[in-house]
Structure 1
Amino acid sequence: MRVSLTLTATSQVHIDDEDTSVTLRATPTGEATTASTVPIPADNPTDWVPDSTQDTTASAQTEPGVESPYEDPTEEGPVREGMYGPMHWLDDRHVTALLAPYICEGWDTGDYARFADLSGEEARRLRTLLPPLARDDRQNNAPRISDLLRAATRIDGLTLEGYVIRAPRWDERVSIDTVCVPESAIIAHTGRPIDDASCPSYEHWLTLAQVLGLGADAVPPDEMRFLVRDASSARWWWAWWD
């Protein structure tokens, strides 16, 4: 003898206005009722359809350090830090204003500009305006900017050249890559005459390093020349680090 049994399942949906939840009840014939409660948004609960594939118990989060796509980009956030300080520190510390008269014509491209003929009191002021970390800046193997600025305050006629990196670049800074010293100032510091060589030698570099007050570990420049910069016959010692 065969016995056939047919089970009929019905589902009921009840909306409770107080806790804004949907209660799904599956009631198979002859079995106990089971229920599961799924939260729904309170803004428009009647238009929401539960998605069975979505984990509604987990809250949306972004990974640490990853900007949320839902953040308003117009809202003011934390100050962006650059290599040597907060963004626009050159303006805030008045370095931009100090160097403005020394910017080379035709060498200002916005975030990069070259300057020349910085010397004396202005070199001393620049050193005081730079943040501590920025005073250790070096153009590759060039001497530290603080050492060159200090030399410019001591040696009459010494001039410095370099470049400025401006915001919004992260590596906002002042770098010095060139020094030019009148030979008369070198003679005054060494107390001995200079030979008439047409091209500088390694010995000339050692003399220049001594005059600049650099240590024994100072790296020679990539190029060094003797120059005549005006109508006089006076020579200048020019050194440049790439």
Structure 2
Amino acid sequence: MFEKMIHNTEELNAMAVHLRLSQNFSELKSLAAKWLVPEDHIQDFISGKRAQLAEIPLEEKEYSSAVEKLREEMWLLKDQMFTDIVSRYLIQKAEENPAFSMQVLQKHKTIQKCMNYIMEQAYSIAQKEHEKRVNGKQPVTGREQNVALGISEIQVYQWAEDYYALDDAKQEADKKEKEQKKRISKQKKSVQQNGKKKTSVKTSPTIPAKNSAPAPAKKKKEENIQLSMFDMMQLDNE
């Protein structure tokens, strides 16, 4: 339904946010599958552990400074709310701290991954709060399964710095290689399936008898997807 409206990763992410907010998870999964988004990324995005569905590809280029890199990434993400607030802090930090600038200039480090790291930390807190309510014998039903959090700017900025300080170059390289293999495998499988459809020929079609009742349609299995416990995080000014 939405395939013809999507032309790039930026538009894909915008549509994914819309589908998540409207709780249209089946269409979101279908769209993500067509764009070969890894399954774990889809699940993390639905649950609220990822800021955006798909990684925006960045050219492998040399930046003259960390500030230049941060500004370009901020422009590509085009999130004038949460991401821009964090990005402006990181730019100021890079201008003042040469050591932090070197961390930002690492090729595998991006603002998008930084935002995902922040979301993961906040989700972990929300999950613990949810478990506390359950263990505290409070009734948890319906929309009460959601947990709203107010997280201070200081905490969010600290998580952002923690991300850039992580020594995760090998981990990111292994992850990228694994995802690439999955993507190639999925593409090959898709090509094979399309080839079978084109070459298959029905030699003896079944003709239904007159007055015969049509076969009952199979009921589509309903998806039991819990609402995201953490879908939006607000920054509290201190």
Q: State which structure, 1 or 2, has the greater radius of gyration over its C-alpha atoms.
A: 1
Bigger RCO of structures 1 and 2 (CA < 8 A, at least 6 apart): 2
Does TM, normalized by the shorter one, top 0.5?
no
| Higher share of residues assigned helix | 2
Task: Give the TM-score, by structure 2 length.
Answer: 0.24
